[in-house]
Structure 1
Amino acid sequence: MTGITNSRTGSCHCGAVRFEVSLSDGFKSVRRCNCSYCRMRGSVVAMTALDGIKILQGKDVLTSYRFNTGTAQHFFCSRCGIHTHHQRRSDPSRHAVNVACLDGVSPFDFPEVPVTDGINHPNDTGTLPRLAGTLRFESPSER
Protein backbone atom coordinates (compact mmCIF):
# COMPACT_ATOMS: atom_id res chain seq x y z
CA MET A 1 0.00 0.00 0.00
CA THR A 2 1.25 3.46 -0.83
CA GLY A 3 2.11 6.06 1.80
CA ILE A 4 0.83 4.64 5.07
CA THR A 5 -0.51 7.91 6.45
CA ASN A 6 -3.43 6.60 8.44
CA SER A 7 -3.60 2.83 8.56
CA ARG A 8 -6.87 1.31 9.80
CA THR A 9 -8.49 -2.10 9.85
CA GLY A 10 -12.11 -2.86 9.19
CA SER A 11 -14.71 -5.42 8.23
CA CYS A 12 -18.19 -5.98 6.94
CA HIS A 13 -21.04 -6.58 9.43
CA CYS A 14 -20.73 -10.37 9.62
CA GLY A 15 -16.91 -10.32 9.72
CA ALA A 16 -16.45 -12.48 6.63
CA VAL A 17 -14.55 -9.63 4.93
CA ARG A 18 -11.62 -8.05 6.79
CA PHE A 19 -9.37 -5.42 5.31
CA GLU A 20 -6.63 -2.92 6.05
CA VAL A 21 -6.69 0.53 4.53
CA SER A 22 -4.32 3.46 4.34
CA LEU A 23 -6.46 6.61 4.28
CA SER A 24 -4.75 9.10 2.00
CA ASP A 25 -5.83 12.19 3.94
CA GLY A 26 -6.94 10.61 7.16
CA PHE A 27 -10.52 11.69 7.67
CA LYS A 28 -10.12 15.07 5.93
CA SER A 29 -11.68 13.54 2.82
CA VAL A 30 -14.92 12.23 4.39
CA ARG A 31 -17.98 12.82 2.25
CA ARG A 32 -21.27 11.52 1.00
CA CYS A 33 -22.77 11.69 -2.45
CA ASN A 34 -26.31 12.36 -3.60
CA CYS A 35 -26.33 10.14 -6.72
CA SER A 36 -29.11 7.53 -6.84
CA TYR A 37 -26.95 4.66 -5.56
CA CYS A 38 -25.10 6.53 -2.83
CA ARG A 39 -28.30 8.22 -1.66
CA MET A 40 -29.92 4.80 -1.13
CA ARG A 41 -26.80 3.27 0.41
CA GLY A 42 -26.24 6.21 2.77
CA SER A 43 -22.62 5.62 3.68
CA VAL A 44 -20.01 8.19 4.66
CA VAL A 45 -16.71 7.46 2.89
CA ALA A 46 -13.03 8.41 3.18
CA MET A 47 -10.49 8.22 0.36
CA THR A 48 -7.54 5.95 -0.30
CA ALA A 49 -5.32 5.19 -3.27
CA LEU A 50 -6.36 2.33 -5.55
CA ASP A 51 -3.71 0.15 -3.93
CA GLY A 52 -4.47 1.60 -0.47
CA ILE A 53 -6.81 -1.20 0.52
CA LYS A 54 -5.68 -4.74 1.23
CA ILE A 55 -8.25 -7.50 1.67
CA LEU A 56 -7.00 -9.64 4.57
CA GLN A 57 -9.85 -12.16 4.58
CA GLY A 58 -12.97 -12.89 2.55
CA LYS A 59 -11.94 -11.84 -0.94
CA ASP A 60 -14.00 -14.79 -2.17
CA VAL A 61 -17.20 -13.41 -0.57
CA LEU A 62 -16.77 -9.85 -1.86
CA THR A 63 -18.96 -9.09 -4.82
CA SER A 64 -19.41 -5.91 -6.82
CA TYR A 65 -22.05 -3.81 -8.51
CA ARG A 66 -21.70 -1.38 -11.40
CA PHE A 67 -24.38 0.81 -12.94
CA ASN A 68 -24.82 3.66 -15.44
CA THR A 69 -21.38 4.12 -17.06
CA GLY A 70 -19.95 1.03 -15.31
CA THR A 71 -16.87 2.99 -14.20
CA ALA A 72 -17.47 2.92 -10.46
CA GLN A 73 -17.23 -0.52 -8.92
CA HIS A 74 -19.04 -0.87 -5.58
CA PHE A 75 -17.85 -3.76 -3.39
CA PHE A 76 -19.98 -5.44 -0.75
CA CYS A 77 -20.10 -8.64 1.27
CA SER A 78 -22.24 -11.29 -0.43
CA ARG A 79 -23.24 -12.68 3.00
CA CYS A 80 -24.35 -9.61 4.99
CA GLY A 81 -24.69 -7.11 2.12
CA ILE A 82 -22.59 -4.35 3.69
CA HIS A 83 -20.81 -1.98 1.30
CA THR A 84 -17.14 -1.92 2.28
CA HIS A 85 -15.61 0.28 -0.44
CA HIS A 86 -15.84 1.35 -4.05
CA GLN A 87 -13.60 2.40 -6.90
CA ARG A 88 -14.57 5.97 -7.68
CA ARG A 89 -16.08 7.13 -10.96
CA SER A 90 -14.71 10.66 -10.67
CA ASP A 91 -11.22 9.32 -9.98
CA PRO A 92 -10.86 5.61 -10.83
CA SER A 93 -7.32 5.68 -9.38
CA ARG A 94 -8.84 5.93 -5.90
CA HIS A 95 -11.13 3.95 -3.64
CA ALA A 96 -13.68 5.34 -1.20
CA VAL A 97 -14.00 3.31 2.02
CA ASN A 98 -17.16 3.10 4.12
CA VAL A 99 -16.06 4.63 7.44
CA ALA A 100 -18.74 2.64 9.31
CA CYS A 101 -16.76 -0.51 8.44
CA LEU A 102 -13.58 0.79 10.08
CA ASP A 103 -12.81 -0.54 13.55
CA GLY A 104 -13.69 2.04 16.20
CA VAL A 105 -15.19 4.57 13.74
CA SER A 106 -18.79 5.65 13.28
CA PRO A 107 -20.26 7.96 10.63
CA PHE A 108 -21.72 9.86 13.59
CA ASP A 109 -18.18 10.79 14.70
CA PHE A 110 -18.26 13.56 12.06
CA PRO A 111 -20.46 16.52 12.99
CA GLU A 112 -20.47 17.78 9.38
CA VAL A 113 -20.04 15.74 6.22
CA PRO A 114 -19.91 17.43 2.80
CA VAL A 115 -22.29 15.92 0.24
CA THR A 116 -20.98 15.97 -3.33
CA ASP A 117 -23.34 16.50 -6.24
CA GLY A 118 -23.33 13.09 -7.93
CA ILE A 119 -26.66 13.78 -9.62
CA ASN A 120 -24.82 16.36 -11.74
CA HIS A 121 -21.60 14.35 -11.94
CA PRO A 122 -18.59 16.27 -13.35
CA ASN A 123 -17.96 13.46 -15.86
CA ASP A 124 -21.48 14.05 -17.25
CA THR A 125 -21.59 17.84 -17.12
CA GLY A 126 -17.98 18.70 -17.94
CA THR A 127 -17.95 21.06 -14.96
CA LEU A 128 -15.93 21.04 -11.76
CA PRO A 129 -17.20 18.93 -8.85
CA ARG A 130 -19.64 20.82 -6.69
CA LEU A 131 -21.11 20.51 -3.25
CA ALA A 132 -24.79 19.56 -3.01
CA GLY A 133 -24.99 20.33 0.70
CA THR A 134 -23.77 19.32 4.12
CA LEU A 135 -25.02 16.50 6.30
CA ARG A 136 -24.98 17.51 9.97
CA PHE A 137 -25.15 15.36 13.08
CA GLU A 138 -25.69 16.70 16.54
CA SER A 139 -26.25 14.60 19.62
CA PRO A 140 -29.18 15.39 21.94
CA SER A 141 -26.71 16.80 24.49
CA GLU A 142 -25.58 19.42 21.94
CA ARG A 143 -29.07 20.83 21.44
Structure 2
Amino acid sequence: MGYRPLQKYQGSCHCGAVRFEIETDFPELTQCDCSICRRKNALMVKVHEAQFTLLAGAESLSEYQFHSQTARHYFCKTCGIYPFHRKRVTPDNYGINVYCLHDFEPDGIPVRLAAGANMA
Protein backbone atom coordinates (compact mmCIF):
# COMPACT_ATOMS: atom_id res chain seq x y z
CA MET A 1 0.00 0.00 0.00
CA GLY A 2 1.24 3.46 -0.86
CA TYR A 3 1.55 6.66 1.10
CA ARG A 4 -0.94 8.59 -1.01
CA PRO A 5 -4.15 7.65 -2.79
CA LEU A 6 -3.73 6.12 -6.24
CA GLN A 7 -4.07 9.04 -8.62
CA LYS A 8 -2.70 10.60 -11.76
CA TYR A 9 0.07 13.17 -11.69
CA GLN A 10 1.34 15.24 -14.59
CA GLY A 11 4.93 16.31 -15.01
CA SER A 12 7.27 17.99 -17.42
CA CYS A 13 10.81 19.06 -18.04
CA HIS A 14 11.73 22.67 -17.18
CA CYS A 15 10.88 24.20 -20.57
CA GLY A 16 7.67 22.15 -20.97
CA ALA A 17 8.64 20.49 -24.25
CA VAL A 18 8.43 17.03 -22.61
CA ARG A 19 5.17 16.34 -20.79
CA PHE A 20 4.02 13.09 -19.21
CA GLU A 21 1.47 11.58 -16.85
CA ILE A 22 1.85 8.81 -14.29
CA GLU A 23 -0.53 6.94 -11.99
CA THR A 24 0.85 5.93 -8.60
CA ASP A 25 0.20 5.82 -4.88
CA PHE A 26 3.89 6.43 -4.06
CA PRO A 27 4.76 3.21 -2.20
CA GLU A 28 8.27 4.62 -1.73
CA LEU A 29 10.77 6.92 -3.34
CA THR A 30 14.22 5.83 -4.47
CA GLN A 31 17.58 7.52 -4.44
CA CYS A 32 20.18 5.56 -6.39
CA ASP A 33 23.94 5.74 -5.86
CA CYS A 34 25.04 4.71 -9.36
CA SER A 35 27.32 7.08 -11.25
CA ILE A 36 24.63 8.78 -13.33
CA CYS A 37 21.98 9.00 -10.61
CA ARG A 38 24.45 10.59 -8.20
CA ARG A 39 25.28 13.21 -10.78
CA LYS A 40 21.66 14.03 -11.62
CA ASN A 41 20.66 13.87 -7.92
CA ALA A 42 17.12 12.79 -8.69
CA LEU A 43 14.55 11.39 -6.31
CA MET A 44 12.52 8.77 -8.16
CA VAL A 45 9.32 6.78 -8.02
CA LYS A 46 9.00 3.53 -9.96
CA VAL A 47 5.93 3.06 -12.16
CA HIS A 48 5.01 0.25 -14.55
CA GLU A 49 4.89 1.22 -18.23
CA ALA A 50 1.08 0.83 -18.13
CA GLN A 51 1.01 3.66 -15.56
CA PHE A 52 3.08 6.02 -17.73
CA THR A 53 1.91 8.14 -20.65
CA LEU A 54 4.13 10.45 -22.67
CA LEU A 55 1.80 13.32 -23.51
CA ALA A 56 4.17 15.41 -25.64
CA GLY A 57 7.78 15.79 -26.62
CA ALA A 58 9.04 12.42 -27.88
CA GLU A 59 11.03 14.35 -30.50
CA SER A 60 12.50 16.55 -27.75
CA LEU A 61 14.02 13.63 -25.83
CA SER A 62 17.65 12.62 -26.00
CA GLU A 63 18.46 9.07 -24.86
CA TYR A 64 21.63 8.14 -22.99
CA GLN A 65 22.83 4.60 -22.25
CA PHE A 66 26.03 3.36 -20.67
CA HIS A 67 27.60 0.26 -19.07
CA SER A 68 25.14 -2.61 -19.78
CA GLN A 69 23.20 -0.56 -22.38
CA THR A 70 19.95 -1.73 -20.72
CA ALA A 71 18.68 1.30 -18.81
CA ARG A 72 17.63 4.21 -21.00
CA HIS A 73 18.01 7.67 -19.45
CA TYR A 74 16.05 10.46 -21.13
CA PHE A 75 16.87 14.17 -21.13
CA CYS A 76 15.15 17.13 -22.75
CA LYS A 77 17.21 18.36 -25.72
CA THR A 78 16.21 21.96 -24.97
CA CYS A 79 16.54 22.44 -21.21
CA GLY A 80 18.63 19.37 -20.29
CA ILE A 81 16.32 18.14 -17.53
CA TYR A 82 16.08 14.41 -16.74
CA PRO A 83 12.35 13.61 -16.39
CA PHE A 84 12.46 9.77 -16.43
CA HIS A 85 14.34 6.64 -17.43
CA ARG A 86 13.63 3.01 -18.34
CA LYS A 87 14.97 0.87 -15.53
CA ARG A 88 17.81 -1.61 -15.93
CA VAL A 89 16.63 -4.42 -13.63
CA THR A 90 12.95 -4.01 -14.52
CA PRO A 91 12.89 -2.60 -18.08
CA ASP A 92 9.07 -2.61 -18.16
CA ASN A 93 9.18 0.10 -15.48
CA TYR A 94 10.08 3.76 -15.52
CA GLY A 95 11.97 5.67 -12.88
CA ILE A 96 10.26 9.06 -12.67
CA ASN A 97 12.05 12.15 -11.37
CA VAL A 98 9.48 13.32 -8.79
CA TYR A 99 10.89 16.85 -8.92
CA CYS A 100 9.42 17.07 -12.45
CA LEU A 101 5.88 16.38 -11.18
CA HIS A 102 3.49 19.32 -10.94
CA ASP A 103 1.80 20.06 -7.61
CA PHE A 104 3.70 17.34 -5.75
CA GLU A 105 5.86 17.45 -2.65
CA PRO A 106 7.67 14.29 -1.50
CA ASP A 107 7.26 15.07 2.23
CA GLY A 108 6.53 12.04 4.40
CA ILE A 109 7.21 9.37 1.78
CA PRO A 110 10.02 6.99 2.76
CA VAL A 111 13.15 7.07 0.63
CA ARG A 112 14.90 3.79 -0.16
CA LEU A 113 18.58 3.98 -1.03
CA ALA A 114 19.27 1.78 -4.07
CA ALA A 115 22.74 0.28 -4.40
CA GLY A 116 23.06 0.91 -8.14
CA ALA A 117 26.82 1.44 -7.87
CA ASN A 118 27.23 -2.25 -6.97
CA MET A 119 25.45 -3.53 -10.08
CA ALA A 120 27.92 -5.24 -12.38
Residue 15 of structure 1 corresponds to 16
Q: Deviations over 1:38-68 (max 9, x none)?
A: 0101000001112322111111101110000
**Amino acid of the structure 1 residue aligned with 2:19:** R
**Amino acid of the structure 2 residue aligned with 1:118:** G
What's the secondary structure of 2:36's corresponding residue? helix
Shift >6 Å, 4+ stretches: none
Relative contact order: is structure 1 or structure 2 higher (C-alpha 8 Å, sep ≥ 6)?
2
Match among 111, 114, 119 for residue 113 of structure 1? 111
How far does residue 6 in structure 1 lie from its aligned partner after superposition?
A: 2.5
Larger Rg belongs to: 1
Q: Deviations over 1:60-81 (max 9, x none)?
A: 1011100000000011111001
Residue 71 of structure 1 corresponds to 70
1:48 and 1:111 mapped to 2: Cα distance? Answer: 15
Length-normalised TM-score, structure 2:
0.87
Paired residues for 1:82-121 under 5 Å:
82-107=81-106, 109-110=107-108, 112-121=110-119
1:50 and 1:111 mapped to 2: Cα distance? Answer: 22
1:92 and 1:75 mapped to 2: Cα distance? Answer: 14
Q: What value does the CA root-mean-square deviation take over the aligned residues?
A: 1.5
Residue 42 of structure 1 corresponds to 41
Aligned residues: 115
What's the secondary structure of 1:40's corresponding residue? helix
Question: Which ranges in structure 2 are unaligned for 5 or more consecutive residues?
Answer: 1-5
Length-normalised TM-score, structure 1:
0.74
**Amino acid of the structure 1 residue aligned with 2:41:** G
Q: Residues 33 and 115 of structure 2 are in contact (CA less than 8 Å); yes or no, is this contact kept in structure 1?
A: yes
Question: Which ranges in structure 1 are unaligned for 5 or more consecutive residues?
Answer: 125-143
Identity between Structure 1 and Structure 2 (%): 37
How far does residue 97 in structure 1 lie from its aligned partner after superposition?
A: 0.4
What's the secondary structure of 1:39's corresponding residue? helix
